[in-house]
Structure 1
Amino acid sequence: MYIQNRSIPMVIILSIVTCGIYFYIWIYQVSLEINNTLGHSQESAGLEVLFSILTCGIYTIYWFYKYAKKLVTLSENMGAPVTDNSLVCLLLPIFGLQVVSQGIMQSQINMLADGMQPRV
């Protein structure tokens, strides 16, 4: 049960500089981490990426909504403050602002990752 803290500017810059290749790597990593943490290991992160590629990004819009909802569930399970950004993460990619949704989700992931770190 581990969620990696990633630099938001670096995630966005790498997604742009690599012409979207890093974005699919990010989807894979985030899907894997969230599903494993929630105990949904039967859901394949590889299929999430494959569906995103095969549908030319249409599935990605749904993916943002789906995983924003999973982040809400994970926040509730951890007792962290809950912010449901699923609608925002659904609408932004429709208007071509996918990287903004990516930044919002990574921000929530980073807050959860910081909360999971052992305190010394």
Structure 2
Amino acid sequence: MMSKFCKKCGTELNDDAKFCTSCGERMEQEVVVRSNITGNSFPGISKRSIPLAIILSIVTCAIYTLYWEVKLTDEMNKLLGKTNATSGVMALIYTIITCGIYGIYWLYKMGQNVDEVKGKTGDTGILYLILGFIGLGIIPLALIQDTINDKLDGVY
């Protein structure tokens, strides 16, 4: 059986819907069809090239990194169905307001989310926290992106 979903917010829609009942997005050319049998497709989440993201982060003097962190946060929240979790934009604002302290906490929480996506209990959050403390914060970003890419490929 096939279902129709809003590409913007992921809400399931009637086949004849012209607009999303949740966000109001126009449905012409804006739908994602997902099989209820496989469940491997996630509306609004796309794979990202990790080497390209790292190169863009370096070339833009970390400006792309800020965008990447926002996207990772929002995509992880969608994967886990955390509708009331802190959005990527708010996480970025909190990081700026706290001069980076929230960013360290964010790494820890994202590590816990990675463990949740993989269906295991572990200390990934502590690993990401340590990498952030020693100035290697781009490594957790790459690992988080790898987890999202793997989830979209149906690995987990």
The number of equivalent residue pairs is 112
1:32 aligns with 2:74: yes
1:102 aligns with 2:141: yes
Query: Partners of 2:77 and 2:64 in 1: how far apart?
Result: 20
Structure number with the higher helix fraction is 1
Question: Any residues of structure 2 matched to 1:74-113 within 5 Å, and which?
Answer: 74-76=117-119, 84-113=123-152
1:56 offset after TM fit, Å? 2.3
Query: Partners of 1:86 and 1:54 in 2: how far apart?
Result: 22
The amino acid of 1:37's aligned partner reads L
Equivalence for 1:114: 153
Query: Partners of 2:66 and 2:129 in 1: how far apart?
Result: 17
Q: In structure 2, do the counterparts of structure 1 residues 94 and 12 end up closer, same or farther at CA, with 3 Å as the change threshold?
A: same
Cα-to-partner distance string for 1:33-62 (whole Å, 9 max, x where unaligned) = 111222212222211111112222221111
Indicate the SS of the match to 2:99: coil
Structure ranking higher on relative contact order (CA contacts 8 Å, 6+ apart): 1
Equivalence for 1:19: 61
Whether the 8 Å contact between 2:72 and 2:144 is mirrored in structure 1 is no
Radius of gyration: which is bigger? Answer: 2
1:25 offset after TM fit, Å? 0.7
Indicate the SS of the match to 1:96: coil
Query: Partners of 2:91 and 2:122 in 1: how far apart?
Result: 23
Q: TM-score when scaled to structure 1?
A: 0.80
Structure number with the higher strand fraction is 2
RMSD (CA atoms): 2.0
Which of 100, 107, 110 is the equivalent residue of 1:57? 100
Q: In structure 2, do the counterparts of structure 1 residues 51 and 100 end up closer, same or farther at CA, with 3 Å as the change threshold?
A: same
Structure 1 residue runs of 5 or longer lacking an equivalent are none
Cα-to-partner distance string for 1:48-95 (whole Å, 9 max, x where unaligned) = 11111222222111111101111211222xxxx777522211101101
| Aligned-pair identity (%) | 38
